[in-house]
Amino acid sequence: MGQLIRKCLLAGGLLACAQLATAATLAQRASAESQADSHGTPTQKPRSQDASTASGARASAGSPIHGRISLTAGPRQDVMRGEVEDTVIYFVPEDGAQKPAPIRASAATYTKGFDPNLLVVPVGSTVRFPNRDVIIHNVFSVTPGSAFDLGNYGPGETRSQRFDKAGLVVVNCRVHRGMRVNVLVHETPHLVRPDADGRFKLSGLPAGRGTLVIWHPRASAQSVVVDGVSNAPIVRTLVASRPRISSYL
């Protein structure tokens, strides 16, 4: 039982014509390689039951959890259409979940940014950081318990890092401080991301109580205790209190 984890989730500056040509060549050379890697985030959004049709009726244990998530702007922030799709919703059974198998994921450095800038991977997964730029990068993290430093490496080179601890790992570049990729490391197979309207549905859950965690890179996480009996929709609003990761420096 259990739902397969859906795989999923660049700043730039002025470059000389020769540098642009080099970047294009590197990108073409790496395109085949990138298809062999997972981006770590779920790539297909499950069809979600409309929350307005839920009646709160009793349901058997292990029935799907469904609902709707909204993302609103906090003070001095703005929210773009579709940003709610960066939300990650996962269920942690009270009795513990069977841990999903590690995967291989990739976040490339390109035009002084990370592509993608969000990865969602199981504990034990290895993330590759290929340099598809025309300049040197130094990928590192100072996240407590998950700190690492891959050192300087040039165009066409790749460095990798294994993530063995659950939680959010913020990854940056020592050379270009504005670069950032969020790596959310989890220990549950029960995970989903909402559609563009914020609707979601988690199926194939084990019977019994547990905690539903709702996480977004720009908002504080929320948790909901699920009793495994009620079929009422989960409706929550997240407030974007942190700036969006810029596409360009």
CATH number at residue 64: 2.60.40.420
In a domain, 163, yes or no: yes
The pLDDT of residue 62: 73
CA–CA distance, 193 with 113 (Å, rounded to integer): 23
The pLDDT of residue 45: 39
Number of folded domains that form the chain: 1
The pLDDT of residue 246: 60
In a domain, 2, yes or no: no
In a domain, 6, yes or no: no
CA–CA distance, 154 with 175 (Å, rounded to integer): 12
In a domain, 153, yes or no: yes
At residue 104, φ and ψ (nearest 5 deg) are -105, 130
* Cβ contact 156:144 at 8 Å: no
- Please confirm whether the linkage preceding 243 is cis (ω < 30° from 0): no
Residue from 128, 102, 101, 125 nearest 115 by CA? 128
In a domain, 34, yes or no: yes
CA–CA distance, 136 with 152 (Å, rounded to integer): 6
* Cβ contact 2:239 at 8 Å: no
In a domain, 62, yes or no: yes
**Structural domain harbouring 222:** 17-240
The number of CA neighbours under 13 Å toward the Cβ of 187 is: 10
The pLDDT of residue 10: 35
CA–CA distance, 236 with 185 (Å, rounded to integer): 23
Residue from 162, 96, 150 nearest 125 by CA? 162
DSSP 8-state class, residue 84: G
What's the average pLDDT block by block, 10 residues per block, for the chain (249 residues)?
36 40 46 47 37 31 87 95 96 89 97 95 98 97 98 98 97 94 96 97 92 96 89 95 69
Please report which residue ranges of the chain form alpha helices under DSSP H: 17-34
CA–CA distance, 124 with 71 (Å, rounded to integer): 30
Handedness of CA 193, 222, 188, 183 (dihedral sign): positive
In a domain, 167, yes or no: yes
In a domain, 10, yes or no: no
- Full-model pTM: 0.73
| Residues 6+ away with beta carbon under 8 Å from 92 | 187, 188, 190, 210, 211, 212, 213
